[in-house]
Amino acid sequence: MRPPRARRVVVEARAKLNLGLAVGPKRRDGYHDLVTLFQSISLADTLIVTPRARGFRLVVTGEAAPAGTRGRAAARVRARGNRAPRGVPSGPSNLVLRAARAVSERFGLGSGADFRLIKRIPSQAGLGGGSADAAAAIRGLLALHGVVTERAERQALALELGSDVPFAMRGGTALGRGRGEVLAPVRLRRPFRALLAIPKWGVSTADAFRRLDRAKYPLTLWNAKLRSAKLLGRKQLDAETWVRLGNTFEEVLGPRRPDFESLRDRLRAAGVRTPRMTGSGSAVFGIIPPGVSEERVAGRFVGSEAIHLVRSTRAGLRFVRQP
């Protein structure tokens, strides 16, 4: 039994980009081997954790404004209970509640918690929003109870919740292998800014991998890509170099290809370099060249897709200090 130590813990849970992603063969356990460069970005959800006598409760709200800002620009979309933002479950399947139960069982917390999740990361977009929320719930709940844990123990718990959760806990820039959980830190030559566009269609990770298997995705270059990613990981390179690794999911878009090509063309016309899909999609990002105004790039973008200006960050989770 561990009584709560804090009255309130607030964690910013940042999205990620896959600067490049190569999917390898399907393994016996059903997962696919992959190699990717993960990068945390400034687009973030906020998770607020407060003590509760028993059980875990979650309220999900949507917010269009960036984390840490308030005011008129904050066009708030309130959604309570099952009216959570599209595609985000507020019930027991939400990764925040699954993470809370896992932490509670492992560490015997003895009391519950209230979670308020402010969603800004679009879901089903390949931005790792659910994984970031799960990582924030693990670290937030441990902080609320003042539980000290080993990193390896937290990473093992994270992997039980999803392949990308270990990276979400760790954040920054990392080469991911295995299911995505074998992580090695990488340094980029310089931080970068990107314009992110979110198509109206979304896709669950599981569906995207099934589609990949059905499409008999090409494995001819897998070994070469794995080797070259390991070599690149030892150098300090620009983000653009990693983008050239490609993304296997772009190769099996099927009927969505024309929309993707159109979005890529419009991002290029706005002034970004080498637009690339992140994760299993649907979001597409383009790196803004140094010295170019990000507002001008965003202003030049033509299309009905939601857009976000983001920058690379050195951490995946950020505890917001409480007064």
Q: Which residues bind ligand C5P (CB under 6 A)?
A: 30-32, 34, 162-164, 179-180, 205-206, 209
Residue 58 and residue 138: Cα distance in Å, rounded? 14
Q: How far is the CB of 31 from ligand C5P (least distance, A)?
A: 4
CB 198 within 8 A of CB 125: yes
Q: Which residue has the tokens 């295995």?
A: 178
Query: Please, what is the minimum distance in Å from the beta carbon of residue 174 to ligand C5P?
Result: 15
- Token pair of 111, please? 């009391």
Question: Least CB distance from residue 81 to ligand C5P, whole Å?
Answer: 25
Task: Please tell me the distance from the alpha carbon of residue 99 to that of residue 160, in angstroms, as a whole number.
Answer: 9
CB 195 within 8 A of CB 267: yes
Nearer to ligand C5P, 96 or 188 (CB): 96
Q: Are 54 and 315 in contact (CB under 8 A)?
A: no
In 3D space, the residue among 305, 240, 296, 246 whose CA is nearest the CA of residue 273 turns out to be: 240
Residue nearest to ligand C5P (CB): 163
Task: Between 61 and 163, name the residue whose CB sits nearer to ligand C5P.
Answer: 163
CB-nearer residue toward ligand C5P: 209 or 249: 209
* Residue (61 or 155) nearer to ligand C5P, CB: 155
Tell me which of 45, 164, 200, 230 is the catalytic residue: 164
Long-range contacts: 209-215, Cβ < 8 Å, 24+? 209/23, 209/32, 209/280, 211/252, 211/254, 212/23, 212/32, 212/248, 212/249, 212/252, 213/26, 215/251, 215/252, 215/254
Contact call for residues 229 and 322 (beta carbons, < 8 A): no
**What does residue 272 show for φ and ψ, rounded to 5 degrees?**
-95, 165
What is the nearest approach in angstroms of ligand C5P to the Cβ of residue 38? 12
Q: How far is the CB of 88 from ligand C5P (least distance, A)?
A: 15
89/112 with CB nearer ligand C5P: 89
Cα distances (Å, whole numbers) of residue 72 to 37, 67, 69, 105, 259: 36, 14, 10, 42, 33
Smallest distance, ligand C5P to C-beta of residue 181, A? 9
Tokens 């994760």 sit at which residue?
A: 279
Instruction: Look up 164 and say whether it is catalytic.
Output: yes
Q: Which is nearer to ligand C5P, 63 or 164 (CB)?
A: 164
- Asked whether 134 and 27 are in contact (CB, 8 A), the reply is no
Q: If 0-12 CB within 10 Å is exposed, 13-18 middle and 19+ buried, where does residue 227 land? A: exposed
Annotated catalytic residue 216: no
Active-site positions read: 16, 164
